[in-house]
Amino acid sequence: MTHPSDDDLQRAADGLVLPAGVAAHVESCPECRGTRDAHVRLSRALSAMPRMEAPPDLADAVLAAWAGEREAAVGVPAGRPAARALGAPRPLPSHDPESLRPARLLGWIVGIDVAVAALVAAAVLFAPDAVGSWTVAAVSAVLAVPALVGAGLTVVSAIGAWALVAAAAVVLVSSIGLRVTLAPVSSTP
């Protein structure tokens, strides 16, 4: 009988049943038996390779990543709920996080209002004749600013307040200039 193929000898090494005639040949032929046994030794060496153990924290890492994905999918913020409960701050928006805070904006407006009031008061004090209708308009506008803030139009009120600062400054400067013009010329040597 001719020698069986190498594939047949590998099948024999893997424990598959060969046709009776082929199996009998393998057992009686030193060359075929040697080849089959070499296949068996290789298989045993491969099967004896040590198994690599997964890192102990691998399962936790997978589950944590999956939990994060699920939270994100149902709309829960990706932060840590426990930390949030303990008072950790929420993440700030990425755009201009400081300048648009309502408290800070309100502070600016109050400051501007105080400045306007001071300017108007100075105008009245130094040039009572010249301020007249300007003063009335300015004070009315200043009084309107808190109403605008109350209505939520903070940006509009801020712009208005800055305009009032400019108007009051003009009134003050013009009134002081008028006073200087009207003052008697002293006789100087």
Partner 1 sequence: MAVTDQELVEHIVRGDPEAARLLVERWSGPLYNFAYRMTGSAEDARDLVQDSLLKALRHLGDYDPRWALSTWLYRIARNTHIDRRRRLRPATELDEERFAGDEAGEAGGPSGFTSPLRAALEREESELIQKALARLRDNYREIIVLYHFEALSYREIADLLDIPLGTVMNRLFRARNMLREALAELEYTP
| Residues in contact with partner 1 by the rule CB under 8 A | 6-7, 10-11, 38-39, 41-56, 58-59, 61-63, 65-67, 69
Q: Hey, what are 79's tokens?
A: 């932060």
Q: Is 148 helix (H, G, I), strand (E, B) or coil?
A: helix
Q: How far is CA 130 from CA 8, 122, 165, in A?
A: 118, 12, 18
- Shortest reach from residue 10's CB to partner 1, in Å: 5
Which CB, 12 or 149, lies closer to partner 1?
Answer: 12
| Amino acid of residue 95 | H
76 CA to centre of own chain: 15
Which CB, 32 or 149, lies closer to partner 1?
Answer: 32
- Shortest reach from residue 52's CB to partner 1, in Å: 4
- Shortest reach from residue 37's CB to partner 1, in Å: 11
Which CB, 39 or 179, lies closer to partner 1?
Answer: 39
Q: Hey, what are 172's tokens?
A: 């003050």
| Amino acid of residue 102 | P
Q: How far is CA 65 from CA 46, 60, 62, 116, 143, in A?
A: 34, 9, 5, 57, 56
Dihedral (Cα; 64, 66, 68, 72), 10-degree rounding: -170
Which CB, 3 or 39, lies closer to partner 1?
Answer: 39
- Shortest reach from residue 49's CB to partner 1, in Å: 5
- Shortest reach from residue 36's CB to partner 1, in Å: 12
Rg of the chain on CA atoms, in Å: 47
Q: How far is CA 189 from CA 18, 183, 185, in A?
A: 139, 18, 12
Q: Hey, what are 22's tokens?
A: 């082929």
Which CB, 71 or 137, lies closer to partner 1?
Answer: 71
- Shortest reach from residue 71's CB to partner 1, in Å: 12
Which CB, 59 or 159, lies closer to partner 1?
Answer: 59
